[in-house]
Amino acid sequence: MQMTAFFQVNPELPEVDFLLGSKSPRRRELLSMLDIDAEIVHIGADEEFPSDLTLRDVAQYLAEKKSNAYGGDLTGKILITSDTTVLLEDQILNKPQDMNEAKAMLRELSGKNHFVNTGVCLRTASGISSFSDLTIVTFKELSESEIDYYVNTYKPFDKAGGYGIQEWIGAAGVVGIEGCYYNVMGLPTQKLYSELCDFIRRYFQ
């Protein structure tokens, strides 16, 4: 059993091990901010989803899909999987394939509101629970030189929507956020904390 400070502030909860099914260093960092020490596990799952699925349900669907693709023993453990989608009007902006696509995405986001939706799935040997959280982000009108500078310098090809809010573009280009800031980075930390506490009470006590 690995020790984690999460249980120091929740001494009434039985200790369990946490697994994070993600390669994202940002999600690992966000879990660490909750004083959760998680073992990283690699899960092979594609990101295909049914064409008739409501766009706001895609992130939660993919988080569950990743969870179900993990075949390891979850006795005494909680597997955390997640997926983040950037929604602009009636489309999902995925991870850009190259500089041109990243710049095109930022031109689309410039001067507009968009939604960032993160789905999370918690699973143990005896149960599963999933949820999602939505944040509204507003960009100022971005100039071509600002877009060029950000993409050329930070190369955001591993980020949905072509940007990371924790980077230069977030500090210089975001004029408003409604909802959880950390959700835009990849995990709705406060909601995840509460859901984990409830999940442990439900399945381990």
Checking if the pLDDT of 84 tops 70, the result is yes
Task: Spot the catalytic one: 17, 46, 52, 83.
Answer: 83
Q: What's the structural domain count of the chain? A: 1
Which domain range does residue 15 map to?
Answer: 5-204
- DSSP state letters, 43-64: --------TTS-GGGHHHHHHH
Is 148 among the catalytic positions?
no
β partners of residue 75: none
Is 1 a residue whose pLDDT tops 80? no
Average pLDDT of the segment spanning 188-195: 98
Cα separation of 143 and 58, whole Å? 31
Structure confidence at residue 130 as a pLDDT band (50, 70, 90): very high
What CA–CA distance (Å, rounded) separates 8 from 83?
28
Work out the average pLDDT over 123-135: 98
Segment 38-73, tens digit of pLDDT: 999 999 888 899 999 999 999 999 999 999 999 999
| pLDDT for position 3 | 52
Q: Chain-centre distance of CA 42, in angstroms?
A: 16
Query: Do 79 and 21 form a contact (C-beta atoms < 8 A)?
Result: yes
| pLDDT tens-place string over residues 42-51 | 998 888 999 9
What average pLDDT does this structure show over 5-32? Answer: 94
Q: What is the pLDDT of residue 205?
A: 84
Q: By the 8 A CB rule, do 67 and 45 touch?
A: no
- The residue-averaged pLDDT of 95-120 equals 97
- Rounded CA separation 31/22 (Å): 11
Which CATH number characterizes residue 37's domain?
A: 3.90.950.10
Q: Are strands 77-88 and 127-139 parallel, antiparallel or unpaired?
A: unpaired
Q: Is the pLDDT of residue 90 over 60?
A: yes
The pLDDT value recorded for residue 44 is: 86
